[in-house]
Structure 1
Amino acid sequence: MNIIVRNEQTDDIDAIAQLTKAAFEHEQHSSHTEQFIVNALRRSGRLTISLVAVESDALVGHVAISPVTLSCGIAGWYGLGPISVLPDRQGRGIGSMLMEASLAELRRQGGLGCVLLGDPGYYGRFGFKAQPGLELPGVPPEYFQALSFGSDLPRGSVHYHAAFDATE
């Protein structure tokens, strides 16, 4: 497996939408709008990090990171997601490669920390965990997780950009 992780390029945009749609097509806990979210983040200038995993000139994975707003007013925190891997390529470490590369880039850019919504069993291995006092309203607390890059953990509610409401 020879996977390269790199920044998205303009020519990747359609392929990112297709692979994101395919990755979430059969996910039970999905809004099935993830491809629209990525495009809306890009259009609004809120796609801080957009990395793709490429194998033999084909996109096989993608991860997006965008800023979040904290009710306590602290800036410098970001939300990871969606993260997508083509269904026939899942379970081969591509998602892990994207996670590690995107978090390293976020640290390099000076981010204070990152939040995400997902399976604690998967994301815990990257250091994410539910944090008392930090919440995403309407979401079971065990699935909303945070990772600090050395700063104090904020307290309060987290709000994602309006792009996460995109439906087309």
Structure 2
Amino acid sequence: MTLQLRHETAADIAAIEAVTIAAFADNEHTSHNEQLIVRTLRAANELTLSIVAEEQGHIVGHVAVSPVTIVDSDGHKAPGWYGLGPISVLPSRQGQGIGSRLMEHALSELRALGGAGCVVLGEPAYYMRFGFQSYAGLLLPGVPSEYFMARALEGPIPKGVVTYSDAFNIA
């Protein structure tokens, strides 16, 4: 079976929601609102990238990327930074490299867009495989630092406080 990675179309929206709900259904470290985050990012025109993994006409995975704001102690903003997530793969297809392919594809597209870097909130053992790591000077308030990681695509890792889109505050 051939896995195709491509940008979402309007016809994919219901399948993306279903995959996202299924992917996080048994995750104990979530509010189970990931599909609402994606929906709200889309409605606010804040989805920089929305990439699906499709196999034989069925969506089996999805990754969303949206802009983040990083402000240092002097009030300066670091341009060109994005947040990756949520990333979702159907439970029956997890552990087969689909998430890795989505991750690598998203980072490649961000680099092609001229992105400076990407942040992610998640399991360190997974995301460190893709070059993400925690940085003492880069903070997401209210989150244990080891679960908040960054990867530069060009230039240094900025210092400052990271703010995601308001879509991530949806209940």
C-alpha deviation, 1:2, in angstroms: 1.6
TM-score, normalised to structure 2, is 0.96
Residue identity opposite 2:78 in structure 1: I
Report the equivalent of 1:98: 102
Deviation at 1:118, TM superposition (A): 0.7
Q: Secondary structure at the match of 2:61?
A: strand
Q: The residue matched to 1:32 in structure 2 has which SS?
A: coil
3-state SS of the aligned residue for 2:50? Answer: strand
Aligned to 2:43: 43
Structure 2 partner of 1:71:
71
- Give the corresponding residue for 1:122: 126
Q: Distance in 2 between matches of 1:74 and 1:128?
A: 18
2:152 maps to amino acid: S
**What corresponds to 1:2 in structure 2?**
2
Deviation per CA, 1:40-91, whole angstroms, max 9, x where unpaired?
A: 0000010000000001110000000000011221121000000000000000
The CA distance in 1 between the partners of 2:44 and 2:79, in whole Å, is 18
- Aligned residue for 1:24? 24
Structure 2, unaligned runs of 5 or more: none
Unaligned 5+ runs, structure 1: none
CA RMSD of aligned residues (A): 0.7
1:138 Cα offset (Å): 0.6
Quick one: which amino acid aligns to residue 52 of structure 1? V
Partner of 2:87: 83
Alignment of 1:130-149 (within 5 A): 130-149=134-153
Q: In structure 1, the residue corresponding to 2:39 is in which secondary structure?
A: helix
Q: Contact conserved, 2:21 with 2:32, CA < 8 A, in 1?
A: yes
Instruction: For 2:10, give the aligned amino acid.
Output: T
Partner residue, 1:158: 162
Distance in 2 between residues matched to 1:150 and 1:36, nearest whole Å: 31
| Distance (Å, rounded) in 1 between the aligned partners of 2:63 and 2:145 | 23
The count of residues paired between Structure 1 and Structure 2 equals 167
In 1, the alpha carbon distance for the partners of 2:94 and 2:30 equals 17
TM-score, length-scaled by structure 1 = 0.97
Task: State the one-letter code of the partner of 1:66.
Answer: S
After TM superposition, the structure 1 stretch with the greater mean CA deviation from structure 2, 71-80 or 34-43, is 71-80
- Measure how far apart 1:21 and its partner are: 0.5
